[in-house]
Each structure stands twice: as structure tokens, then as C-alpha cells.
Chain A
């Protein structure tokens, strides 16, 4: 590919002189290399200067003797042990961790709300009832219907057990029931219905 030659602005010799070191090390872009090269081709001073710089490059001094790499690494390794501070985490990892923490916090909050709701529902029966007390105090069982149960199935289940819904749905989609006789057999019958996922008595053993 041919390089586009860009004319040196102003003092051509001065501009070429400034770029000679990078012409010598071969890192000039194509356009600049062509531009400087064209000047050097007809400038004897730049040719001599370039030749000298090429010669200098071949004489790279070794500098002071470098330390043995194994010894130097051991010295640095010891400093790493001393300065074992936690490194800043990559942004993606931090976002992931923050997201996880938020999800855990939300989950904990939901569990807490559900626990309070359930505790309220399952609290011991009140010993004192006013005439205007809510119907919930009449509940003696709690039922959770299957999500795919039809209206006909749930109604059929309630009818067969002689139960009626007196409250709900609660935070966990449970309904409070009033069974005529909340015996174990009655609960078992209700539990056997396809529409029922779970049913429990709200009365203590002693009260039954």
C-alpha cells in the first residue's frame, strides 16, 4: 500500500529533524514516514544525523546491573503479604453483590410480613366477645385451596363438609372456615377434596 505523502509545514528541515528519532526506530505512521523520508533523501545533514542515531540504537547500554529477578520477586512478594489489603472489586461484581443483598433483604421482608399475618390468623381464640365482633372469631379452621381449583370444586368441597367461609383471603391466600364439628374426621374429609391443598384446625386440642 502506498503511503500518502503529506508536505511538511513551515521549516521542512526542522520538522524532519524532530521526527528523525522515530524514523530511526520505525514507529512513524506511513504518511509521516514518507514525508520525512522524502526530505532525508535529498538532505545530506539529515542523512548523517539519521545514520548516527541508527548507530546509537545499536549501542544500547545495559544500564546498571538489574537485580536477580527471583530475589527481586521474593522481596516484592514479601511486601504483598504485608500489604494484603482487599482489592477494589470490579464494577460488575459489585453490582451483582449489591443486587443479591437487595434480593435477600426483600425476601426477608416478605417472610416477616407473612409470619405476622399467619401469627395473627392463628392467634388463640379470644375469651371475650362483643356483640359486634367480626365474624373471624367464629372461624375454627383454615383452608388453602389449590390454585387450579374451580369455583364449582371449592363450593362442592365446602358444601360436603358443611363449612362456610367466614374470613379471608389472608396474605397467604388462606380462608377462614366455620365447620359445624371441627373434628379430625371432618378435617380429613375436607382434606381429601381435590380442591383443597391444605386444611388445619384453629382450635387447640383441649378445646376440641
Chain B
């Protein structure tokens, strides 16, 4: 696996490009106030944004609100999308700003039940249980990071984005992204205390 990974990387897979072309097409319709196009875009991005926001904050109330607030901005400000970056980058940048604002304004204690439910939900075969346990462990470890670090870690590991794209989303220099990731990884490793390595 490592050897395969170290081989020179290939050109970006075409599905991503065609997905962006489809997104661009939907955006053009949304600018013309096409509600059906907006619903199509919403259904594409709902799971992706829910996953991103859910990992940046464990508070379900913030996730739902931030998700719809994000898409409301997409609807209202579709005409301001310049096409300089991918549609997904533009939308994730809106989501990032929205969730940070929500976290700052809603200074509530973090609800840890989400993580507990994650670990206990759908207990089935032993392997699935172990996997759920390790996922919960990683989720708990992510929760020890700042929101800014979490966003970079989540976008890198679980959304497969390049650092330049992440820099656009979180609106900071590339070096800052690398630094946040470096320190985030260090805190993750410390929080995990080798638990994930032991379970693998």
C-alpha cells in the first residue's frame, strides 16, 4: 500500500471534474432562480456538509442550522460565485465561516452524547463493534482540537482535499494550513495514546 502511495500521483480523477461541471451547471440555473436546480444541489451537498459540520462540531443543533444557513447563502448569493474555484470549495468555505460563527455565538457546553450514541448504535458483529469503537475514539480525539484545526484535519482526511483548496476554504495562507494540520496531528496522536494503533 505504501509503495503504491509513493508512486507518482496520477492526474485528478475525471469524476471530480465532471462533478464540478455538473455543479457549475446547477449554479448557472440557480442564478436564474431555478428552485429545482437548487434542490438538486442541496441534495448533493447535504450529506457532504452534514459530515463536515458534524466532525467540526458534535452539536447536532448547530449542524442542522449551519447546514441550512450555508445553503441559504448559496441560494441568495449564487450570482456572486465567480467560478475562480470549484463550486464545492466555495460552498465549503461558506459552511466553514457559518459554523465558526455559530460556535462563537452559541457558547454551549459540548454535548458528548453524540459520540456515545455513535459507539453504541447498531451493535452487531464483533468487527463492526470494534470499528465503531475506534471511530468513536477518533471522534473523541478530534474533539480535543480547536475548531480551526478540526476543519483542516477533517477536510484533509475525510474529504480528500488538497492543502491549497483547504487554504481557500478556511481563508488563510497555505503555510497556516500546514501548520494547523501539523499541530492537529500531534494533538490527535497524543489524545489517541496508541489506542487506534492497538485496534488496527
Q: Which residues of A contact B (CB under 8 A)?
A: 1-3, 17-19, 21-30, 33-34, 37, 40-41, 47, 50-57, 59-67, 69, 72-73, 75-77, 79-80, 83, 85, 87-90
Q: Do A27 and B68 contact each other (CB < 8 Å), given the known contacts A21-B185, A52-B197, A59-B131?
A: no
Q: What are the interface flags for B145-160 relative to A under an 8 Å C-beta threshold, 1 for contact and 0 otherwise?
A: 0000000000011101
A25 to B161, alpha carbons, bound, how many Å?
A: 8
The answer to whether B9 and A33 touch across the interface, beta carbons within 8 angstroms, is yes
Chain B residues with Cβ below 8 Å from A63 are 50-51, 53-55, 58, 63, 114, 139
- Whether A62 and B54, one on each chain, are in contact in the complex, defined by CB atoms closer than 8 angstroms, is yes
B79, A18: Cβ atoms closer than 8 Å: no
Q: What are 18 A-B pairs with beta-carbon distances under 8 A?
A: A17-B182, A30-B9, A37-B8, A51-B2, A53-B157, A59-B131, A59-B135, A59-B138, A61-B142, A62-B51, A63-B114, A64-B114, A65-B54, A72-B64, A72-B68, A73-B46, A76-B68, A80-B72
Contact with A along B51-78 (1 / 0, CB 8 A): 1011100111001100110011001101
Of B157, B185, B188, which is within 8 A of A25 by CB?
B157
Asked if B190 is an interface residue, CB under 8 A from chain A, the answer is no
Interface size class of B (residues with CB under 8 A): 35 or more
In contact, A66 and B63 (Cβ under 8 angstroms): yes
Interface residue SS majority, chain B: helix
CB distance from B78 to the nearest CB of A (A): 7
Question: Shortest Cβ distance from A191 into chain B, in angstroms?
Answer: 54
Residue of B nearest to A21 (CB): B156
A8 to chain B, nearest CB (A): 13
Asked if A61 and B139 sit within 8 Å, CB to CB, the answer is yes
Given A55-B197, A76-B68, the answer on whether A18 and B54 have CB atoms closer than 8 Å is no
CB-nearest residue of chain A relative to B175?
A18
Q: Let me know if B50 and A33 touch, CB within 8 A.
A: no
Given contacts A61-B136, A64-B59, contact A56 B196 (CB under 8 A): yes
Q: What is the chain B residue whose CB lies nearest that of A17?
A: B182
Of the listed stretches B17-25, B31-39, B90-98, B100-108, name the one at the interface; the rest are far from the partner chain. B31-39
Does residue B47 face the partner (Cβ distance < 8 Å to A)? Answer: yes
Alpha-carbon distance A79/B38, docked complex (angstroms) = 14
Bound-complex Cα distance A40 to B79 (A): 45
CA distance A88 to B2 in the complex (A): 50
Which 6 residue pairs across A and B have the least CB separation, nearest first?
A63-B54, A66-B50, A27-B162, A37-B6, A61-B139, A3-B8
- A54 partner, pick from B1, B32, B43, beta carbons under 8 A: B1
A193 to chain B, nearest CB (A): 57
Choose from B59, B75, B118, B158 the contact partner of A57 (Cβ within 8 Å): B158
What is the CA–CA distance of A22 and B177 in the complex, to the nearest angstrom? 11
Q: Which among A26, A60, A66, A80 is the interface contact of B158 at CB below 8 angstroms?
A: A60
